[in-house]
């Protein structure tokens, strides 16, 4: 598979995650920002929407970090010998593919918070959801920035 086709395939996967993330965000807007009290009274449907939201947030971030970022570095003719993921992020920021390493690390922190289950801590869960919602909007913007960066070097897909 050539680079342009591989980029298209990765972006298609990212777009699927982004579409479902965006849909879940739209469903959440009527009860955000969420309070601890509201969190305790979520319906089963609300919980399912939250699970979709957290799942797609993580999947989008994973797909970008594991597949899209290495390909973007390759497209940009950057050496692919980065000993740590943070080195890849630093290089992506330097070449303008992502806006900020710190922002990406915040996405990772939110993802990690979703991985920990605190069923009895409604305050913590509400705070995580509110922060994640804000970060999800930024994550979607980063996807678009990376897409534009890659497509400017390979041609529109």
Domain count, the chain: 1
CATH (domain of 70): 1.20.120
Chain segment 5-38, per-residue pLDDT in tens: 999 999 999 999 999 999 999 999 988 999 999 9
Does residue 119 have a pLDDT over 70? no
Question: Which pLDDT band, with edges at 50, 70 and 90, does 156 fall under?
Answer: low
pLDDT in tens, 57-104: 999 999 999 999 999 999 999 876 788 899 999 999 999 999 999 999
Residues 6+ apart with CB under 8 A from 13: 63, 67
Range(s) of the domain holding residue 10 = 3-154
* Angle of the 122-154 helix axis to the 3-28 helix axis, nearest 10: 150
Give residue 21's pLDDT. 97
Q: What is the full DSSP assignment across 37-80?
A: HHHHT--HHHHHHHHHHHHHHHHHHHHIIIIIHHHHHHHTT---
């Amino acid at each position: 598979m050539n680079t342009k086709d591989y980029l298209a395939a990765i972006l298609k996967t990212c777009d699927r995650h982004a579409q479902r993330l965006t849909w879940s965000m739209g469903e959440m807007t009527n009860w955000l920002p969420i309070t601890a009290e509201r969190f305790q009274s979520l319906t089963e449907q609300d919980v399912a929407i939250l699970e979709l939201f957290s799942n797609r947030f993580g999947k989008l971030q994973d797909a970008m970090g594991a597949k899209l970022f290495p390909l973007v570095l390759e497209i940009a003719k950057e050496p692919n010998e980065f000993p740590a993921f943070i080195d890849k992020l630093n290089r992506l920021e330097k070449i303008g593919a992502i806006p900020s390493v710190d922002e990406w690390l915040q996405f990772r922190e939110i993802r990690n918070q979703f991985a920990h289950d605190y069923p009895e801590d409604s305050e913590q869960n509400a705070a995580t959801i509110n922060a994640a919602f804000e970060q999800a909007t930024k994550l979607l913007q980063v996807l678009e920035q990376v897409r534009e960066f890659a497509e400017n070097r390979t041609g529109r897909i």
